[in-house]
Copies of this chain bind each other. A is one copy, B any other.
Amino acid sequence: MLSTKTHFSIGELCEEFAVTARALRFYEDEALIAPERRGTQRIYSERDRARLAWILRGKRVGLSLTDIKELLDLYDVGDGRRTQKLKTIERCQAQVDALKQRRVDIDATVEELSKFVALLKGQTD
């Protein structure tokens, strides 16, 4: 049975993604996720869960929550008006370019650190 859950409590998502409930509520305050409510309790849909995954990966690659929100929003209006579309493309492209630059920096840093490690390991002494 491919655990086909479609709704999650805050605790479930916290555990799955190793984040605190506070963080999830914070993302909600910042309008990054908008789970439904049953009474006062939050119910996260599969889509919310996917967005959360996106958010966390965005964070790992060094995007700010603001950046992430913008990108998520752009996704949502992917079917929007033509004028908007160009802007959307522009911004996404800009983020892609920034990320590629970041990758260059990372490669350089990794290489430099690796050389250093190799040097240390090679020391006979």
Contacts and interface: CB of A to CB of B under 8 A. Distances in A.
Interface of A: 57-58, 60-62, 71, 74-75, 78, 82, 85, 88-89, 92-93, 95-96, 99-103, 105-110, 113-114, 116-117, 119-121, 123, 125
B60 A113 contact: no
Contacts of A121: 89
Contacts of A107: 103
Contacts of A116: 74-75, 78, 92
Contacts of A57: 105, 108-109
Q: What are the 10 tightest A-B residue pairs by CB atom distance, in nearest-first order?
A: A62-B62, A60-B105, A61-B105, A61-B106, A92-B117, A99-B110, A92-B113, A96-B113, A61-B109, A99-B106
A119 B89 CA distance: 10
Contacts of A99: 106, 109-110, 113
A32 B114 CA distance: 21
A101 to B, nearest CB: 8
A82 B121 CA distance: 11
